[in-house]
């Protein structure tokens, strides 16, 4: 009896048994292949997890699978195993997790055969003279193909203005032909440009990365501008010379054309960039190119971690501390942590780089599990910026800006350099209020204010995306005295334009960069080097270099200092240093001015006076005392309901029940339930139960039991619950 055990995309944490399709060769039943099966009233695509000969169900109740969709599994066995491991580690239904590991088109049943690229070329002796003089499009197209004897793709033909009709016409006339480009592994020179000569710190860092054979984790803790990227490039060069591939993960807003260009300029090999603007087809193609070994460098964001490589050589995680490596909904995995597991499985080195490493990673380095490589000098002779805290407690601010700061901005502009003004709020102002009765424009679906936007004018909730018009009069008292409160990027832009009318003020945030090429145009303006003011959100902090910026102004440096989240302090420090790192690159020494109401805050002082390492040490000490990660392991059980208090009472009852029924594993503790820091969001009322343990095994044992329990529990079906292992934030 052959029984197929399948992972099927479903919220249930179990596998499903099927009989093989009739008259199928058992040798084809390899774990990892996709199988089309009837599921309820639909046909769905499942993934074969194992082949067995017993089932908990009676055999005559089992249905036959309809069809095997693969002759070979899309994911190599070790990645298939890794995805299964991740599903169990993050307590996520296996069917959904496995789907997550493959591109959308494969989830929909497309073939995963690698398609060699189809190219078109002119046949020998083809000549435009043989075409009718009025067949202009065909003449142009044939001329184009004659110019490119090595062949061009249909996409490229279209980009040049050609169309499929002319192509078909020319093919019919036997003037042109299509052919497949064989996948070339020999690219001649790996390098397109000469690498930089490394300074001593870079040299020893590179040597340390290259020294161990096989799996090893290295942390490069290198200040911004210390030349980490150059070290990555040279580590990749070595790997390419060994005919292997490199997988590079970058944060979501770090995957800019600039980033990719830097790799393209250096290397003469095919590079696949897995960014969010790809169509599903392009994404699958890039994925297949990686699996086939055609793409030699793969650069992507979080989800690229499951991209198969035929010859894995190295994994690099740039800005490893970035929260975007952790998925915040559904399959809540950490791409960085999975990357370490993957490198172990593939026996390759992995490099985690950051100017401000996460405390988890630092802890691993301190404990000796990771090689700890430090780069403290800026490469290419520029000085790190000088920090200054501006105490604004007694100050009368004009639209959020202190006198000192305005003077400094003026000075830098007059000196002919650029200024970057950072504030972490887009829109015009964080809310709108009535001067007469105190009404505030709140989101009806969230415990949050609506942000006022001026271009175009509307109120927008940044938490649930609700948008509405701006009321002319107060909905409570009908007064027309409605006032914006607080400063966002749009308002800062307006103020700065008013204060410095002779200089361009360029806003950079999610709203101003939505248009295609917007960022490109902005960078063109900045790259002229003319004095200007850049005002924007953390989009300014990553992936971009602003060599002419000499002053970085941080408007609300303390916004995260008193966050309810225990990572608030860490995130604030990371953001401040990231933004600060934009100043004084190249040959312009920079300074950073930070406005704060808490100039005496010891943590802020440590950060400013002694730098990130000193800050991190203090913060680790605090975490140890408070029994917080990385000294303990955390998970959150979140619950959401449409009625108030239901989520919390559900969790309370659950906790009580579990305590009655089940022995907590040794060293596992609960805290809560509490309402979530933002209790209501997008119309749902939210509460959470924190679970932590010194020992990861014990925590996972409890979580597995908990999931099982929840799936059996009738009450649990009435709430939306989820488990977040190693949560990136507690909201």
> Where on the chain is the footprint of ligand ADP (CB under 6 A)?
196-199, 202, 222, 224-230, 379-380
Two structure tokens written together for 49 = 């997890």
Looking at the Cβ atoms of 224 and 303, the one nearer to ligand ADP is 224
State the binding partner of 22 from Zn ion, ligand ADP, none, CB within 5 to 8 A by kind: none
439 is a contact residue toward Zn ion (CB under 5 A): yes
Query: HSE on the CB side for 566, CA within 13 Å?
Result: 19
Rounded Cα distance, 314 and 475, in Å: 59
Closest approach, Cβ 227 to ligand ADP, in A, equals: 3
State the binding partner of 476 from ligand ADP, Zn ion, none, CB within 5 to 8 A by kind: Zn ion
Rounded Cα distance, 640 and 718, in Å: 9
Two structure tokens written together for 212 = 């161990």
Closest approach, Cβ 457 to Zn ion, in A, equals: 18
Integer CA distances (angstroms), 520 to 258, 417, 647, 686, in order? 9, 20, 46, 40
Q: DSSP class of residue 217? A: E
Rounded Cα distance, 343 and 364, in Å: 16
Rounded Cα distance, 551 and 594, in Å: 11
Burial code (b: 16+ CB inside 10 Å, e: under 16) for 320-344 equals bbbebbbbeeebbbbbbbbbbbbbb
Rounded Cα distance, 272 and 307, in Å: 11
72 is a contact residue toward Zn ion (CB under 5 A): no
State the binding partner of 655 from ligand ADP, Zn ion, none, CB within 5 to 8 A by kind: none
Looking at the Cβ atoms of 78 and 462, the one nearer to Zn ion is 462
Two structure tokens written together for 535 = 């005002």
Closest approach, Cβ 581 to ligand ADP, in A, equals: 7
Give the total of residues touching Zn ion (CB under 5 A).
Answer: 15
479 is a contact residue toward Zn ion (CB under 5 A): yes
434 is a contact residue toward Zn ion (CB under 5 A): yes
Looking at the Cβ atoms of 395 and 436, the one nearer to Zn ion is 436
399 is a contact residue toward Zn ion (CB under 5 A): no
680 is a contact residue toward Zn ion (CB under 5 A): no
Closest approach, Cβ 362 to ligand ADP, in A, equals: 17
**Contact between 246 and 313 (Cβ < 8 Å):** yes
Rounded Cα distance, 304 and 367, in Å: 29
Q: Which residues pair with 687 in a beta bridge?
A: 639, 675
State the binding partner of 86 from Zn ion, ligand ADP, none, CB within 5 to 8 A by kind: none
Rounded Cα distance, 24 and 215, in Å: 40
Looking at the Cβ atoms of 228 and 296, the one nearer to ligand ADP is 228
State the binding partner of 222 from Zn ion, ligand ADP, none, CB within 5 to 8 A by kind: ligand ADP
Q: Which residues pair with 5 in a beta bridge?
A: 17, 50
What is the DSSP track for 211-260?
Answer: SS-S-EEEEEEE-TTSSHHHHHHHHHHHHHHTT-EEEEE--GGG--HHHH
485 is a contact residue toward Zn ion (CB under 5 A): no
Closest approach, Cβ 646 to Zn ion, in A, equals: 19
Closest approach, Cβ 379 to ligand ADP, in A, equals: 3
Query: HSE on the CB side for 188, CA within 13 Å?
Result: 2
Q: DSSP class of residue 249? A: E
Looking at the Cβ atoms of 463 and 700, the one nearer to Zn ion is 463
State the binding partner of 278 from ligand ADP, Zn ion, none, CB within 5 to 8 A by kind: none
Integer CA distances (angstroms), 248 to 266, 301, 334, 539, 644, in order? 15, 8, 15, 20, 44
State the binding partner of 224 from Zn ion, ligand ADP, none, CB within 5 to 8 A by kind: ligand ADP
Closest approach, Cβ 440 to Zn ion, in A, equals: 10
State the binding partner of 464 from ligand ADP, Zn ion, none, CB within 5 to 8 A by kind: Zn ion
445 is a contact residue toward Zn ion (CB under 5 A): yes
Closest approach, Cβ 355 to ligand ADP, in A, equals: 7
Closest approach, Cβ 437 to Zn ion, in A, equals: 3
Closest approach, Cβ 615 to Zn ion, in A, equals: 34
Burial label for 191, CB within 10 Å (0-12, 13-18, 19+), is: middle
* SS3 call for 38: strand
Looking at the Cβ atoms of 301 and 641, the one nearer to ligand ADP is 301
Q: DSSP class of residue 398? A: B
476 is a contact residue toward Zn ion (CB under 5 A): yes
446 is a contact residue toward Zn ion (CB under 5 A): yes
Interface with Zn ion by CB under 5 A: which residues?
Answer: 434, 436-437, 439, 443, 445-446, 461, 463-464, 466, 474, 476-477, 479
């Amino acid at each position: 009896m052959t029984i197929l055990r399948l992972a099927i995309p479903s919220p249930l944490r179990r596998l499903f048994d099927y009989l093989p399709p009739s008259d199928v060769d058992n040798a084809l039943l390899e774990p990892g292949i996709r199988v089309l099966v009837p599921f309820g009233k639909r046909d769905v695509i499942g993934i074969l997890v194992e082949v067995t000969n017993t089932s908990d169900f009676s055999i005559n109740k089992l249905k036959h699978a309809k069809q095997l969709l693969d002759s070979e599994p899309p994911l190599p066995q070790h990645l298939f195993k890794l995805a299964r491991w991740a599903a169990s580690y993050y307590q996520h239904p296996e069917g959904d997790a496995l789907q997550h590991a493959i591109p959308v088109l494969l989830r929909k049943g497309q073939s995963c055969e690698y398609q060699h690229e189809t190219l078109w070329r002119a046949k020998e002796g083809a000549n435009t003279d043989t075409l009718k003089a009025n067949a202009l499009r065909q003449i142009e197209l044939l001329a184009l193909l004659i110019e490119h004897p090595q062949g061009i793709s249909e996409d490229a033909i279209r980009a040049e203005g050609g169309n499929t009709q002319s192509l078909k016409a020319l093919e019919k006339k036997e003037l042109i032909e299509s052919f497949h480009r064989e996948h070339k592994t020999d690219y001649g020179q790996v390098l397109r440009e000469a690498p930089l000569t490394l300074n001593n710190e870079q040299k020893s860092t590179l040597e340390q990365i290259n020294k161990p054979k096989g799996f090893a984790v290295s942390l490069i803790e290198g200040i911004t501008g210390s030349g980490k990227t150059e070290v990555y490039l040279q580590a990749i060069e070595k790997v390419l010379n060994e005919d292997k591939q490199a997988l590079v993960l970058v944060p979501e807003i770090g995957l800019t054309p600039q980033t990719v260009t830097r790799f393209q300029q250096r290397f003469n090999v095919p590079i696949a960039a897995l960014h969010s603007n790809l169509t599903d087809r392009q994404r699958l193609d890039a994925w297949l190119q990686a699996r086939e070994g055609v793409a030699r460098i793969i650069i992507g964001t979080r989800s690229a971690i499951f991209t198969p490589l035929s010859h894995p050589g190295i994994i690099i995680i740039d800005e490893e501390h970035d929260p975007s490596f952790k998925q915040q909904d559904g399959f809540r995995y950490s791409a960085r942590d999975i990357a370490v597991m993957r490198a172990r499985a593939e026996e390759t080195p992995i490099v985690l780089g950051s100017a401000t490493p996460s405390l988890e990673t630092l802890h691993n380095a301190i404990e000796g599990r990771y090689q700890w490589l430090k780069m403290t000098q800026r490469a290419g002779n520029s000085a790190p910026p000088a920090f200054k805290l501006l105490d604004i407690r007694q100050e009368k601010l004009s639209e959020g800006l202190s006198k000192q700061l305005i003077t400094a901005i003026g000075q830098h502009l007059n000196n002919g350099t650029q200024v970057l003004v950072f504030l972490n709020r887009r829109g015009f102002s964080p809310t709108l209020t009535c001067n007469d009765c105190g009404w505030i424009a709140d989101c009806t679906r969230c415990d949050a204010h609506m942000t006022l936007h001026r271009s175009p004018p509307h109120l927008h909730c940044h938490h649930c995306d609700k948008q509405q018009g701006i009321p002319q009069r107060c909905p409570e008292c009908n007064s027309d005295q409605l006032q914006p409160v607080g400063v966002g990027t749009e308002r800062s832009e307006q103020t700065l334009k008013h204060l410095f009318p002779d200089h361009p003020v360029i806003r950079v945030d999610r709203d101003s960069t939505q248009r295609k090429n917007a960022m490109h145009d902005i960078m063109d303006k900045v790259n002229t080097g003319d004095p200007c003011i850049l005002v924007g959100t953390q989009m300014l902090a990553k992936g971009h270099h602003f060599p002419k910026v000499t002053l970085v102004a941080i408007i609300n440096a303390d916004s995260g200092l008193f966050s309810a989240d225990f990572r608030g302090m860490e995130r604030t420090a990371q953001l401040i240093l990231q933004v600060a790192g934009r100043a004084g690159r190249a040959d312009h020494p920079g300074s950073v001015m930070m406005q704060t109401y808490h100039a005496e805050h010891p943590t802020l002082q440590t950060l400013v006076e002694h730098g990130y390492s000193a800050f991190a040490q203090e913060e680790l000490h605090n975490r140890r005392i408070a029994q917080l990660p990385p000294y303990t392991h955390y998970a959150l059980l979140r619950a959401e309901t449409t009625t108030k208090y239901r989520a919390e009472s559900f969790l309370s009852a659950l906790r009580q029940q579990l305590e009655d029924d089940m022995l907590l594993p040794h060293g596992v503790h609960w805290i809560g339930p509490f309402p979530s820091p933002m209790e209501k969001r997008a119309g749902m009322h939210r509460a959470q139960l924190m679970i932590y343990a010194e020992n990861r095994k014990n925590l996972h044992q409890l979580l597995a039991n908990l999931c099982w329990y929840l799936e059996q529990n009738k009450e649990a079906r009435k709430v939306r619950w989820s488990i977040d292992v190693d949560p990136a934030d507690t909201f």
